[in-house]
Structure 1
Amino acid sequence: MTRILMVCLGNICRSPLAHGILQSKLSDDSFYVDSAVTAAYHIGNSPDNRSIKVAKTRGINISTQSARQFKVLDFDAFDYIYAMDNSNYTNIISLARNSDDIGKVKLFLEINSDIANKNVPDPYYGELSDFEYVFNLVDETCDILADKLKG
Structure 2
Amino acid sequence: MREDTTALHQQAPAALPEVSHVLELLEMAWERGRDALSTAPVSAAQIRVMYIIEREPGINLSTLRRRLEVAAPSATRLCDRLQAAGFLRRTPRPGDRREMQLTLTEAGTAHLREIRRRREQALRQAMNRMTPVTRDALAAGLAALCEAVAEPLRYAEEQLIEESG
- Same fold per superposition (TM over 0.5): no
The structure whose Rg is larger is 2
Q: Normalization by structure 1: what TM-score?
A: 0.28
Q: Which has the higher contact order (CA 8 A, sep 6+)?
A: 1
Q: Normalization by structure 2: what TM-score?
A: 0.27
Higher helix proportion (structure 1 or 2): 2
